[in-house]
Amino acid sequence: METLSEQACFGGVQGFYRHESKAVGGPMRFAVYKPPQAAKGKVPVVTYLAGLTCTEETFTIKAGAQRVAAQLGLMLVMPDTSPRATRLPGDDASWDFGIGAGFYLDATAQPWKSAYRMYSYVTGELRETINASFPARPDRQGIFGHSMGGHGALTLALRNPDKYRTVSAFAPIVAPMRVPWGQKAFSNYLGPDQAAWRDYDASELVRHHKFPGTILVDQGLADKFLADQLKPELFEMACKHAGQPLTLRRQEGYDHSYYFIQTFIEDHLKHHAAGLG
């Protein structure tokens, strides 16, 4: 692992790092905020998955999360949103597929399956690196995200309750099989068989994979993607039918931006801190 930079921040350390990933076949960048409590021992970890076009820097710079994380004693981990080193034909042809749009799945279709394996990267290699190289508590970890990253957080948590004890999301894509963003990504990454898509659709997964805790979701009602791409009511209905505890907060006047995330980041980090102990 290579340290790219480290800066003092609210009594802790904000760092940016790079390491080689076997899952994606090349180097991956990620950011870590170590709270001041980490200087004395291991602390709980919350991993944040960013949305379309974002990098490991987006949340780190824009969300204003470090102040609250320092108060709560939470380590924050922010990976990139896709492989960058391995270039494939058409990977930069559109903003909602390819580079910056890995959708936190393991691709099975050519040529994407050679590198677009963000599910294995986040749940495997990244966790292992954090646990081995930072003062992280392996048994006290949560996950959250925004938009595409909210989709990732929900699906990773539902499929891996042994790894993630808490989960939350800002404006997540909750039913990717039924919206244009998800249909575009899944048909290219996973192929035409929609049975394979269900493994990465939170509204489908929750029917058979109940999460042992309350899921927190915030959705802005002024979000321009609300009706066509996000459809939180579908996840709400699926959770109700499955008996999955869900707190879905519809926030009047808020859009899809990081101003929305800044406003409610404290609530989300407190949600994780309460569940991680």
Active site residues per annotation? 147, 223, 256
Q: Which of 67, 154, 61 is nearest to 105 (CA)?
A: 154
Peptide linkage before 27 cis (omega within 30 of 0): no
Tell me the C-alpha distance between 125 and 42, whole Å. Answer: 19
Residue 10, C-beta contacts closer than 8 angstroms, at least 6 positions apart = 35, 36, 66, 67, 69, 70
C-alpha to C-alpha distances, 173 to 9, 47, 113, 120, 271, nearest whole angstrom: 32, 18, 22, 20, 20
Contact status, residue 259 vs residue 252, Cβ threshold 8 Å: no
Question: What's the distance, Cα to Cα, between the start and end of the chain in Å?
Answer: 29
Q: How many angstroms separate the CA atoms of 43 and 2, rounded?
A: 22
**CA–CA distance, 218 with 268 (Å, rounded to integer):** 9
Give dist(CA 32, CA 34) in Å, integer. 6
Sign, CA dihedral 174-266-209-129, equals positive
Rounded Cα distance, 277 and 273, in Å: 6
Output the CA torsion sign for 79, 85, 89, 92.
Answer: positive
